Structures are given as structure tokens and as C-alpha cells.
């Protein structure tokens, strides 16, 4: 049940604000009156534009800079979107992965404890082994790769805060548009290939519940607005193979489905193992946050219009 005893937090610090989720969160929160947003990212300048928020360059592994920002900005809430997210790179650069995904979160936790600041931390379906998805919030983590291990450790650090000071939002295979990203995401990769008439190989034996980044940003905003604590699974509603997701994109946006070739995961030589069958049960977020993800049709046409607008800009 949604309780309406909303606590209005005025000051929100966003880390990793130049990433896919970070940009969507900053855009969403700074467009609402009750948030004063300070966006931070590793780059000297913000990649997003048109947001009424501050921006400061911040590497979250730099504890002194983070401390100074806490003292100067006095955030009520931190939304931690910063992470080393390249799963294969995490496998080969383990110490860099741990430094960003765990050590920096531990520093953030210490600052949140001292300053009585709420931490909303973003985590992943890759904390699960993928044998029995879709998963609930109460299922037992058992990661199959180093990225997943680092995210479990980050969750454990966050859980050491007093109960009223933490929320963990886990999500799955996030897609959407953001400006000047260095990496494509599953949907933009599929769209860019199909729109150029290029064939793609897509796995039939990895199952996910793909998440539109605008839905995720809305869900996180609701968790902040309703002052929710604990763990929430926020993803798309449907579990399907990545291959079926590619077919869905072709169907909705009118591309040639024959360009999409089914393959199994063994045909790719990836450094890190992937959990085969994840995806989330989102009942808790639906019930407690009023979270309602868009249908694929709506999400994909929204994404297409954002992509078209960015080409024209
Ligand atoms: N994308 C998905 O499918 C997915 C699925 C499940 C969970 N998640 C989680 O969602 C969160 C947001 O990820 P995303 O999808 O937005 O990925 P993303 O686009 O890779 O964004 C991550 C951001 O963190 C930044 N970053 C990395 N190290 C940093 C550091 N030391 N200090 C400050 N910023 C740093 C990255 O900057 P650089 O570009 O400079 O590296 C990037 O802007 C992460 O916690 C991720 O684990 C994502």
C-alpha cells in the first residue's frame, strides 16, 4: 500500500550522473519542484543538458572530495548510480572493480552514517546465479562473476547503515537513450544495426526482464518520495530471452526480423560468465511504490522518438 506521509527531501546528490541511469535520474528529479539536485560524474562537464541542477566533477573513489561535497551540499539523499558496469572488464580488472563498486560504496556509507543521509544504492540481477529467475527481493544472492560479487559486497556495505537510511534498488538489462554515452545498450545496439540493415546474432538462452531507463528513474523517484527503505526489484514486467526482445524491437519499430539470427551463449567468447535466467518479480514495487512500467510498445516508441530527436538536435 502506498502511504501518503511523504517526506519531501530537498537536496539530492547523484553520483555517476553522466551514465545511462544517472542522466535519467537527474532529468527526472530536477524536473520536479521538491528536489534540489547536485549531479556528479567523473567528467569535467555534464553530458546531459537542459536540467536545472548543479554539476561537480566527482570520482567516487576520491573520499576527500566526496567528504567536501557532503559538507558543502548537505544532501538529504544520495542516489548512487556510479559503478564499474562493464562485466567483462570487472573480471580482468578486479582491483579497479572492487575499488569503485565496493570500497567507494563503503566510504559513501560512512559519510551517510555521519551526516544522517539516506543512501539509495543501485544494484543488479547479476547478484543471482540465474538458475531460477525471475527473482524476488528475498531470494539468495549467488553471483557467477566478479561484477556480481562486487555488487553483493556493495549491498552488504549499504545494509550496515541504520534501517531508515538505506534503500537498495536492483534492476535488470537497462535500455534507453542518454547523451554522449561511451557505450551502447542492448536496445540502442539492436536499433542501430537493424536500422542500417545489418544482421545481428542474439542469444536465445539468456532470459531477462529488460528495463526502460525512464521507468527505472520513475521507480527510484517514488522510492525517494515515499521514503521507502529496504530492497526493491525495479525492472520491466516481462521475462523473455534477449533474442525475443530483439524480435519485439523489430516488430514494434518495423525492422526486418530476418536480420536477427538466434545463437546460444556458447557461441560468444565472453570473459565473465553470465547468469542464464534472471528477471525480476516486481510485485513489491508495484504494491508499495505504485510502480507501473510501460508496455514494450510504449517504451520502444518513446525511445525511438528520443533517438530521432537527438539526431535532429
Ligand atoms: N545497465 C544495465 O543493464 C544495468 C543492469 C543492472 C544494474 N545496473 C546498475 O545500474 C547502475 C547504473 O548503471 P548504468 O546502466 O547507468 O551504467 P553506466 O551507463 O555505465 O553508468 C555508470 C556511470 O558510473 C560512472 N563511474 C564509473 N566509475 C566511477 C567513479 N569511480 N566515480 C564516478 N563515476 C564513476 C561511469 O563513468 P564512465 O563512463 O567514466 O566509466 C558511468 O557514467 C549501476 O549500479 C549498475 O550496476 C545496470
pLDDT at 10: 85
Closest residue by Cα to atom 33, ligand 1, is: 59
**pLDDT score at 301:** 98
| Ligand 1 binding pocket mutation candidate from 13, 15, 20 (most atoms within 8 A of CB) | 20
Q: With a cut of 90, say whether residue 313 has pLDDT above it.
A: no
Cα–Cα separations (whole angstroms), residue 271 to 87, 124, 146, 276: 8, 19, 11, 15
Say how far apart CA 63 and CA 42 lie, in whole Å. Answer: 13
Evaluate: CB of 127 within 6 angstroms of ligand 1. Answer: no
Residue 5 has pLDDT above 70, yes or no: no
C-alpha cell at 5: 506521509
Q: Is the CB of 21 under 6 A from ligand 1?
A: yes
Grade residue 282 by pLDDT with cuts at 50, 70 and 90. very high
To the nearest 5 percent, what fractions of the chain are helix, strand and coil?
A: 45, 20, 40
Mean pLDDT lowest among 6-20, 55-69, 105-119? 6-20
Ligand 1 proximity of 41 Cβ (cutoff 6 Å): yes
Nine-digit cell string for 267: 557461441
138-146 long-range contacts (CB < 8 A, ≥24 apart) are 143/275, 144/273, 144/274, 144/275, 145/87, 145/90, 145/91, 145/272, 145/273, 145/274, 146/90, 146/91, 146/94, 146/97, 146/272
Per DSSP, the three-state class of 154 is helix
Please tell me the predicted confidence (pLDDT) of residue 7. Answer: 54
Q: Indicate if ligand 1 lies below 6 Å from the C-beta of 90.
A: no
pLDDT of residue 9: 57
Residue 4 has pLDDT above 80, yes or no: no
Cβ neighbour number for residue 186 with a 10 Å cutoff: 17
H or E stretch including 79? strand 77-80
* Burial class for 89, CB neighbours closer than 10 Å (0-12, 13-18, 19+): middle
At residue 3 the predicted structure's pLDDT band, cuts being 50, 70 and 90, is: low
Q: Is 210 in the pocket of ligand 1 (CB under 6 A)?
A: no
Flag whether pLDDT at 283 surpasses 70. Answer: yes
pLDDT at 312: 78
* Cα angle for residues 95, 97, 99 (degrees, 5° grid): 65
Alpha carbon of 5 to ligand 1 centroid (Å): 32
Q: Write down the pLDDT at residue 23.
A: 98
Does the Cβ of 39 fall within 6 Å of ligand 1? no
- C-alpha distance from residue 185 to each of 176, 199, 234 (Å): 7, 17, 18
The residue nearest atom 21 of ligand 1, judged by CA position, is 19
Is the CB of 224 inside a 6 Å radius of any atom of ligand 1? no
Q: Is the CB of 102 under 6 A from ligand 1?
A: no
Residue 1 pLDDT greater than 90, yes or no: no
pLDDT tens per residue across span 77-92? 999 999 999 999 999 9
Residue 2 confidence (pLDDT) above 60 = no
Q: Which residues contact 297 (CB under 8 A, 6 or more apart)?
A: 252
Q: Residue 83 C-alpha to ligand 1 middle, in angstroms?
A: 4
Backbone angles phi, psi at 162, to 5 degrees: -55, 150
- Using CA atoms, how far apart are residues 161 and 154, in angstroms rounded to an integer? 12
| Ligand 1 contact via 182 beta carbon (within 6 Å) | yes
Which pLDDT band holds residue 296 (cuts at 50, 70, 90)?
A: very high
Contact 56, 69 (CB under 8 A): yes
Separation of CA 101 and ligand 1 centre (Å): 10
pLDDT interval class at 6 (50, 70, 90): low
Q: Are strands 207-208 and 240-241 parallel, antiparallel or unpaired?
A: antiparallel
Q: What is the DSSP string of 163-210?
A: GGGEEEEEE-SEE---TT-SS--HHHHHHHHHHTT--EEEESS-EE--
Under 8 Å CB-to-CB from 65, ≥6 apart: which residues? 58, 59
pTM of the model: 0.97
Evaluate: CB of 18 within 6 angstroms of ligand 1. yes
Pocket of ligand 1, candidates 15, 44, 85: which has the most ligand atoms within 8 Å of its Cβ, to mutate? 85
Say if ligand 1 is within 6 A of residue 26 CB.
Answer: no
Tell me how far the alpha carbon of residue 254 lies from the centroid of ligand 1, in angstroms: 31
Domain 11-179+209-237+277-295 in this protein, CATH class: alpha beta
DSSP 21-67: HHHHHHHHHHTSTT-EEEEEESSSS-S--S--SEEEE--TT-HHHHH
Q: pLDDT category, 45, cuts 50, 70, 90?
A: very high
**Mean pLDDT score across all residues of the chain:** 96
pLDDT in tens, 146-191: 999 999 999 999 999 999 999 999 999 999 999 999 899 999 999 9
Say what the pLDDT of residue 233 is: 99
* Domains of the chain by residue range: 11-179+209-237+277-295
Lookup: cell for 61: 573513489
| Percentage with pLDDT > 70 across the chain | 97
pLDDT at residue 269, rounded to an integer? 87
**Residue 86 CA to ligand 1 centre (angstroms):** 8
Amino acid at each position: 500500500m502506498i502511504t501518503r506521509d511523504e517526506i519531501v527531501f530537498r537536496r539530492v546528490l547523484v553520483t555517476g550522473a553522466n551514465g545511462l541511469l544517472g542522466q535519467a535520474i537527474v532529468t527526472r528529479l530536477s524536473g520536479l519542484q521538491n528536489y534540489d539536485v547536485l549531479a556528479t560524474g567523473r567528467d569535467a562537464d555534464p553530458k546531459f543538458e537542459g536540467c536545472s541542477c548543479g554539476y561537480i566533477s566527482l570520482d567516487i573513489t576520491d573520499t576527500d572530495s566526496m567528504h567536501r561535497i557532503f559538507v558543502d551540499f548537505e544532501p538529504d539523499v544520495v542516489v548512487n548510480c556510479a559503478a564499474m558496469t562493464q562485466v567483462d572488464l570487472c573480471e580482468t580488472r578486479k582491483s579497479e572493480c572492487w575499488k569503485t563498486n565496493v570500497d567507494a560504496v563503503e566510504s559513501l556509507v560512512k559519510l551517510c552514517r555521519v551526516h544522517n543521509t539516506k543512501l539509495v544504492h543501485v544494484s543488479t540481477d547479476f547478484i543471482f546465479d540465474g538458475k531460477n529467475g525471475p527473482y524476488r527481493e528475498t531470494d539468495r544472492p549467488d553471483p557467477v562473476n566478479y561484477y556480481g560479487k562486487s555488487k553483493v559486497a556493495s549491498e552488504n556495505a549499504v545494509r550496515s547503515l541504520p534501517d531508515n537510511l538505506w534503500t537498495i534498488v536492483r534492476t535488470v538489462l537497462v535500455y534507453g537513450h542518454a547523451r554522449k554515452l561511451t557505450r551502447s545498450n542492448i536496445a540502442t545496439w539492436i536499433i542501430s544495426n537493424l536500422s542500417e540493415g545489418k544482421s545481428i546474432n542474439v542469444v536465445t538462452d539468456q532470459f531477462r526482464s529488460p528495463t526502460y531507463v525512464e521507468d527505472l528513474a520513475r521507480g527510484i523517484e517514488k522510492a525517494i518520495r515515499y521514503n521507502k527503505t529496504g530492497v526493491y526489484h525495479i525492472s520491466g514486467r516481462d521475462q523473455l530471452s534477449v533474442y525475443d526482445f530483439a524480435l519485439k524491437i523489430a516488430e514494434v519499430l518495423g525492422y526486418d526480423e530476418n536480420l536477427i539470427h538466434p545463437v546460444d551463449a556458447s557461441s560468444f567468447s565472453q570473459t565473465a560468465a553470465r547468469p542464464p535466467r534472471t528477471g525480476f518479480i516486481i510485485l513489491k514495487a508495484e504494491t508499495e511504490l505504485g510502480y507501473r512500467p510501460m508496455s514494450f510498445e510504449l517504451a520502444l516508441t518513446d525511445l525511438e522518438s528520443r533517438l530521432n530527436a537527438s539526431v535532429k538536435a
